[in-house]
A and B are shown apart, each in its own frame.
Chain A
C-alpha cells in the first residue's frame, strides 16, 4: 500500500461495505500515524532564536549583493507566482477532495459516538468559528492545516453515511461551487466572507448544508 490515505472513492466505498478491508486499512493508517509521529522530531529549542538573531543581523545588505539579490528575487517571484497559482479559488473543490484523501480514515469512522459539545466548541474557537445554533450528529471534530490556514474539519453522521464539513473562514468564494469529483458529491457554499464545504459519497447532503450555513459565524 503506497499511501493508506489515498484509497480513492471506490476503495473507500468498498471499505464501508467490507469490514476486514476497513479493519486492514485502519491498521495501515494507524501505522502511518506512528510513522509521522516518529518522523516529527522537535527542533532544538534555540534554533528559532538563532534564526531570528541571524535575520536581524542581515538587515544591512551590501550594495553589491543587492543586484544579485534582485535577480534571485525575480526568479523567486516567478516561482512563487507558479506556486501561488495552485491556491486559486476555482481549484478549491479539488483541494477539498484532495484533503479528504489525506484524512481518509475519517470517511470510514469506526465509531458513531458523538463529539462532546465542549470539545466541538474548543475546535471551532481555535479556528475562528462560533455557532449561533446547535448542530447535531458531529462524530469527529479536528483542526486541520488547509491551504495555509487552520480550519475545522468535522464529520457528521447521516443516513447516507458520514458527511465531511470543512469550515473555511479564509476561503471566500463568489458563488456556490459544486463538488463532483472521484465519486464524492457536495458543495462549497459562500458564508459571509468565508465558505463551508459539505461533501459526502452519497446524494448531495442538502440538510446538513443548510444546518451549518445557518449556524456558523466567523469570529476573526
Chain B
C-alpha cells in the first residue's frame, strides 16, 4: 500500500472520533478542525511508525490535547471567555439524528471542562478510568468522581430519577 493510501485509510478511521473529541474539548468548531488537521499532519510525517490504528488514535489524541492547551497558553483568554461560548451551529441537529440529541449536546456543552473531557475520553474514545487518569494526570478516584458527576448532571437535566442514578 502506498504512503498516500495508508494515510487516507488512517484519516478515515480516526477522523470522526478525533474530530468529536477536539470539538468537545475546545467547544470551538474552527479550533477543533485546526487541532485535528495539525495532529493528522504530524501523523503523516510519522506514518511509518503508526501501524496500529488504535495506538495511532491515542497518539493523535495526545497531540490534540497538548496543542489545545498550548493554544490557550498563547491566547491567555479571560476566565469568563472559557465558559461564555455560544452553542455552535455544528452541534445543531443533522439529518437522521433523534430530536433529543440536540438537547443532549447542549447539556454536554454546558458541562464544566473538568467533567466534559473525561466523559469524552470514556464515552467517545473508550478509555478506561486508569487510562484517563494517566492521560489527565489525575488519580483514578478523581476521574471516577468527575465522570460520575458529569453523568449525574445529565441525568438530572433529563429527568432520570435522582435516587436511582446515584446508586
Q: Does A210 contact B (CB under 8 A)?
A: no
Are A148 and B37 in contact (CB-based, < 8 A)?
A: no
Q: Which one, B54-62, B64-72, B73-81, is touching chain A? A: B54-62
Which chain A positions have C-beta within 8 A of B122? Answer: 3
Q: Does A206 contact B (CB under 8 A)?
A: no
Q: Which one, A36-44, A161-169, A185-193, is touching chain B? A: A36-44
Are B24 and A3 in contact (CB-based, < 8 A)?
A: no
Give 1 or 0 for each of B18-45: 1 = CB within 8 Å of chain A CB.
0110011000000001001100110011
CB distance from A80 to the nearest CB of B (A): 5
Which chain B positions have C-beta within 8 A of A40? Answer: 16-17, 20, 124
Q: Does A18 contact B (CB under 8 A)?
A: no
A58 to B104, alpha carbons, bound, how many Å?
Answer: 39
Give 1 or 0 for each of B95-117: 1 = CB within 8 Å of chain A CB.
00110110011001000000000
Are A73 and B49 in contact (CB-based, < 8 A)?
A: yes
For residue A147, which residue of chain B has the nearest CB? B54
A22 to B46, alpha carbons, bound, how many Å?
Answer: 46
Q: Which one, A27-35, A120-128, A133-141, A212-220, is touching chain B? A: A27-35
Are B167 and A80 in contact (CB-based, < 8 A)?
A: no
Query: What is the interface size of chain A, counting residues whose CB is below 8 A from a CB of the partner?
Result: 46
Are A39 and B120 in contact (CB-based, < 8 A)?
A: yes
Main secondary structure of the interface of A (DSSP, over half): helix
Are B59 and A39 in contact (CB-based, < 8 A)?
A: no
Which chain B positions have C-beta within 8 A of A89? Answer: none
A79 to B165, alpha carbons, bound, how many Å?
Answer: 39
Q: Please tell me which one of the listed residues A31, A47, A56, A148 contacts residue B33 in the complex, with CB atoms under 8 A apart.
A: A47
Main secondary structure of the interface of B (DSSP, over half): helix
For residue B33, which residue of chain A has the nearest CB? A47
Query: What is the interface size of chain B, counting residues whose CB is below 8 A from a CB of the partner?
Result: 59
Which chain B positions have C-beta within 8 A of A147? Answer: 52, 54
Which chain B positions have C-beta within 8 A of A83? Answer: 52, 55, 58-59
Q: Please tell me which one of the listed residues B44, B54, B98, B128 contacts residue A37 in the complex, with CB atoms under 8 A apart.
A: B98
Give 1 or 0 for each of B104-140: 1 = CB within 8 Å of chain A CB.
1100100000000001101110101100000000000
Are A27 and B15 in contact (CB-based, < 8 A)?
A: no
Q: Please tell me which one of the listed residues A1, A24, A43, A102 contacts residue B15 in the complex, with CB atoms under 8 A apart.
A: A43
Are B90 and A41 in contact (CB-based, < 8 A)?
A: yes
Which chain A positions have C-beta within 8 A of B120? Answer: 39
Which chain B positions have C-beta within 8 A of A41? Answer: 19-20, 23, 90-91, 105
Are A1 and B151 in contact (CB-based, < 8 A)?
A: yes
Are B15 and A76 in contact (CB-based, < 8 A)?
A: no
CB distance from B143 to the nearest CB of A (A): 8
Ranked nearest first, the 7 interchain pairs of A and B with the lowest CB-CB distance are: A43-B19, A38-B104, A55-B44, A83-B55, A2-B148, A148-B54, A148-B52
List, sorted by A's number, 24 A–B pairs whose CB atoms are closer than 8 Å.
Answer: A1-B151, A2-B147, A34-B98, A36-B123, A37-B97, A39-B108, A40-B17, A41-B19, A41-B23, A42-B16, A47-B15, A48-B12, A51-B15, A51-B37, A52-B4, A52-B8, A55-B41, A56-B4, A58-B45, A76-B49, A77-B49, A87-B54, A147-B52, A147-B54
